[in-house]
Structure formats: C-alpha cells, structure tokens
Amino acid sequence: MACLAPIHKPDALRTRICNSWGWLCSSKPLRMRQMNTSIDELAKAVLSARRKGLFKSKPIFEVYAQTSPDELRHLEGRIGTSLPLSLRNWLLKVGYGDINEELSFREEWFSPIEVEEGWFSPVEEGQLKGGAIFAQDDLGNFYAFNSSGQIYFLSRSEPFCAVMSNDFLGFVQELVCRDYKLGTWIESLDTQKNK
C-alpha cells in the first residue's frame, strides 16, 4: 500500500520516499520502519511539493530565511545543546520556513525546555533531558528533540507529550508520507500525560 490518500496526485519522488520506507497505512511503530531516504531527497520532495490554492498552486514549504553553519553554532550555544545532525543538515539545506502553513521552523522557536510552573518538569527531567524545542505549529504546540535525537510533540493546551519519531529524518519522512497533514498525525499520537 502507498501513502495515505493525498489531496494532490503524488509525484514520483514522494511515492518513492514513502515506498522505500516500507510505509503502510497501519499503525506500524516508527522504530520498526526502514529508512533509506536522505535529507537531500526529502528536501527535494518538500521543496518541489505544491498544494492547490484558490486561484493557483502554492509551495508546501514557504522559505522564511536561510541559515549558515556559523549561525547554527551560535544557535546551539544559545539553547545549550547540539542540534541533531539531520535537523542541522535540514536547516542548512532548506533554511527556516513553514511546511503547509501548519509547522513553523524559525530561529526564535529554538529554546531549551524550561519548567513553567511544573508544566513540563517530569519531561525535562526524564525523556527530554538535555533537549530543546525546535518548531511550533499553527495551534501553538511545540516540537522538541531529546539528547538522543528523538522527536517529541509537546501540547500547549495540556501537560502531555508524545514521541513522534526516532530522529528528525524520520519525522520529515513521516510528514511527507502523511501528505503534510500534521493535525491528523497529532490526533493519532499516543500521548503521555504529565502528572
């Protein structure tokens, strides 16, 4: 079976990415999937993808700003941790921007995970210790990585989190295979309540 039914006809690159990963529409655990796609292939797929607009098509990825290795080193110093290699390579390849007007990568979203009135304290001291927030969605939810590079969803409205992928490469690949429908993916997550 190929990727979930897209709004637009899938291009050959997107289909190859999903099929090479062994994508199934079932809820096969992320850790069981085979990943054979590079950041270069994913960047090419995301940068070339288009979505129907009211009068014309528009790109899935809207570039906000480019970045450089020096700027990323400065960013790592500010957040107090190294970026996962695949996230670093992604930013160098495509820059900061928005995916499908839903997921925003901006330098200002990058921050260490801090305790706000105990909101994320169990997460900060456990699974996400040594990690940082790297993106925000259109509902204000956050996306973070831990010290081993796993990607997490952090809810803004309730104190819970969920593992989304074992690494940033898998995170982007999953998003491509889900036809960039982040909201649907979030609704399907097994969340872990903070108590």
pLDDT, tens only, 27-60: 333 433 445 578 888 888 888 888 887 788 888 8
Burial of 99 (0-12, 13-18, 19+ CB in 10 A): buried
- pTM of the model as a whole: 0.77
Burial of 91 (0-12, 13-18, 19+ CB in 10 A): buried
pLDDT band at 95 (very low <50, low <70, confident <90, very high): very high
pLDDT of residue 122: 47
Q: Which is nearest to 195 in space by CA: 113, 116, 123?
A: 123
Are the beta carbons of 104 and 136 closer than 8 angstroms?
yes
Instruction: Answer left, alpha or beta for residue 86, where phi above 0 means left and psi between -120 and 50 means alpha.
Output: alpha
Q: How far is CA 145 from CA 18, 117, 167, 174, in A?
A: 23, 21, 8, 16
Domains of the chain: residue spans and CATH: 61-193 (3.40.1580)
